[in-house]
Amino acid sequence: MQSAHPAITIFHNPACGTSRNVLALIRNSGVEPEVIEYLKQPPGKERLRALVDAMGTGVRSLLRQKGTPYDELKLDDATWSDEQLLDFMVQHPILMNRPVVVTPLGTRLCRPSETVLDILPSPQQAAFRKEDGQPVIGEDGRRVD
Q: Which pLDDT does position 1 carry in this prediction?
A: 44
Residue 106 within a domain: yes
pLDDT tens digits for range 27-62: 999 999 999 999 999 999 999 999 999 999 999 999
| CATH (domain of 100) | 3.40.30.10
Distances (CA, A) of 13 to 29, 118, 141: 20, 21, 27
Q: Which pLDDT does position 145 carry in this prediction?
A: 78
- Is residue 99 reached through a cis peptide bond, with omega within 30 degrees of 0 on the bond before it? yes
- Residue 16 is among the residues annotated as catalytic for this protein: yes
Percentage of residues of the chain with pLDDT beyond 70 = 96
Q: How many CB atoms lie within 10 A of CB 134?
A: 13
| Total tally of structural domains belonging to the chain | 1
CB of 33 closer than 8 Å to CB of 8: yes
Residue 142 within a domain: no
Catalytic position from the list 2, 16, 80, 138: 16
pTM for the model: 0.93
Residue 10 within a domain: yes
Find the domain containing 79 and state its range.
3-137
Residue 56 within a domain: yes
Residue 143 within a domain: no
- The 3 state secondary structure assigned to the chain is CCEEEEEEEEEECCCCHHHHHHHHHHHHCCEEEEEEECCCCCCHHHHHHHHHHHHCCCHHHHECCCCCCCCCCCCCCCCCCHHHHHHHHHHCHHHECCCEEEECCEEEECCCHHHHHHHCCCCCCCCEECCCCCEEECCCCCECC
Residue 39 within a domain: yes
pLDDT tens digits for range 1-34: 454 545 899 999 999 999 999 999 999 999 999 9
